[in-house]
Amino acid sequence: MNPTLEALFIGPTFFLSFLILANMQRANIKASYWFAGFIFCIFLIQLDAPLARIGLDKNWTFLNDFIGLSNFVVAPIFYLSIVYYVKPKRQWKKRDNLHFLFPMLILILLILSHWVDPEPVSKPQPEMVTISTVIFIICFCFYIVFYCLKSVVIINKYQKSLVLYTSNTDVFDLKWLQQVSFCVLFIATLWMLDIAFQLSEHSTLYSTISSVSTFMSICFMGYHALKQREIYPYKAEEQKEIENLITENEPTETFKKKLIPDEQLDNFKTSLIDLMETEKPFLEAELSLVRLAQQLKISPHLLSYVINNGFGENFYQLVNRYRIEEAQRLMSDSGMNHLSLLGIAYEVGFNSKTVFNTTFKKVTGQTPSDYKKTVQHK
């Protein structure tokens, strides 16, 4: 590949890792550090070809071997960035060190090999090189697939939990991380094909396509990482309650504790209905379980219990049902004819036309436009 084109791809990758590390928004700090490390590993992996071209891989073999370790830490670092996006306040655990056990073993072996025999007397046999390459590809493939699948499972679990505490799931949506997981698999596939068949050496077209695809994938990752908002913008106590909520609502949870007597449940239910109908807190686009609980002067955990057991809904369903009912009222009001459907969506608390349309049809059985036509013909 043309060295100039190669430099255009490698340089921005390094700069992007620096920008993510700098984290100007100061959001998801731990996750940003790990994600910056992940992008930096990609930079190191891409650096291998230029180093070989100028001969540094032969003169500085230990440096080259050390850079090669990035192949074995890139997957666990990516996985840990996902973990910290989902749980920003998570503390490091001893078992987390196990993710780097294999790379540490390789590092120790590299140090020992350079210390024991710094000047190899003979070149390795071609058969040994082939075997080593096959072993590397298998290990690398296992690493990438294993950690990407683990990441997707964690993200799916997180996505399902959003409805328990936020009324606008798209604000804290992490679907982009699922797409990043597939990008990582795609990039890894390109690398493995190149290592196995030396495609870059024999095909300029493949080399160009591979580099451009990798660069575009990295730009996609960087764009979303840089604009990501704080996942849990709550106090430590409130966040702990939300995490407990998520745990209690897992499919494996078979026993549900009765928090309050039925009579008290009815009282809280009545208070919640009065609040929703008089003060209409659901009109706030970013209404959360925590904020609604503060208005009712009860804990988020108790409010979630009241919603689940008193209404048979989760927080997301309750709030958006009230929003749809308000939207229906506005559509029926001739004084609101100046508002478009999008205007009505924003007016009642939605911040996405797609979510508004989907939710409206789910609640009423009609699209917003069909409902409006029905109302106007009455």
The DSSP secondary-structure symbol of 257 reads -
Beta bridge partners of 120: none
Is the pLDDT reported for residue 133 higher than 80? no
What's residue 331's pLDDT?
92
Q: Residue 252: which pLDDT band, with cuts at 50, 70 and 90?
A: very low
Q: pLDDT by residue (tens digit) across 214-230?
A: 888 888 888 888 887 77
Q: Residue 308: which pLDDT band, with cuts at 50, 70 and 90?
A: very high
Interatomic CA distance for residues 20 and 115, integer angstroms: 37
pTM: 0.81
Is the pLDDT reported for residue 325 higher than 90? yes
The C-alpha angle with vertex 192 and arms to 35 and 219, in degrees rounded to 5, equals: 35
Across the range 249-254, mean pLDDT stands at 54
Torsion of Cα atoms, 180 then 183 then 185 then 187, to 10°: -140
Contacts of 41 (CB under 8 A, 6+ apart): 70, 73, 74, 77
What's residue 4's pLDDT?
61
The C-alpha angle with vertex 120 and arms to 116 and 124, in degrees rounded to 5, equals: 120
Token match 């939300």: residue? 242
Q: Residue 375: which pLDDT band, with cuts at 50, 70 and 90?
A: confident
Give how far Cα 215 sits from Cα of 47, 165, 174, 219, Å: 13, 36, 21, 6
Tokens of 319: 């709030």
% residues pLDDT > 70 (the chain): 87
- Sign of the CA dihedral with 86 first, then 90, 94, and 97 last: positive
What's residue 59's pLDDT?
57
Q: pLDDT by residue (tens digit) across 6-56?
A: 667 788 888 889 888 887 777 788 999 999 999 999 888 888 767 766 665
How far is CA 363 from its chain centroid? 29
Higher pLDDT, 201 or 375: 375
Torsion of Cα atoms, 99 then 104 then 106 then 108, to 10°: -170
Q: pLDDT by residue (tens digit) across 53-93?
A: 666 555 556 667 778 788 889 889 999 999 999 888 788 99
Interatomic CA distance for residues 323 and 330, integer angstroms: 11
What's residue 349's pLDDT?
94
* Count of CB atoms situated within 10 Å of the CB of 226: 17
Provide the residue count of the chain: 378
What's residue 248's pLDDT?
72
- Backbone region of residue 297 per phi and psi (left: phi > 0; alpha: psi in -120 to 50; beta: other values): left
Q: Where are the alpha helices (DSSP H) in 198-299?
A: 199-202, 204-227, 236-248, 262-278, 289-296
Torsion of Cα atoms, 318 then 322 then 327 then 332, to 10°: 140
Average per-residue pLDDT for the chain:
83
Give how far Cα 103 sits from Cα of 66, 95, 120, 122, 301, Å: 10, 15, 23, 26, 42
Contact predicate 339/347, CB 8 Å: yes
Amino acid in the structure at residue 339: L
Is the pLDDT reported for residue 120 higher than 60? no
Contact predicate 245/300, CB 8 Å: yes
Beta bridge partners of 166: 288
Interatomic CA distance for residues 351 and 346, integer angstroms: 6
Q: SS3 of 12, please?
A: helix
Q: SS3 of 40, please?
A: helix
Q: pLDDT by residue (tens digit) across 254-298?
A: 446 778 899 999 999 999 999 999 999 999 998 999 999 999 999
What's residue 253's pLDDT?
46
HSE toward the beta carbon, residue 130, CA cutoff 13 A: 4
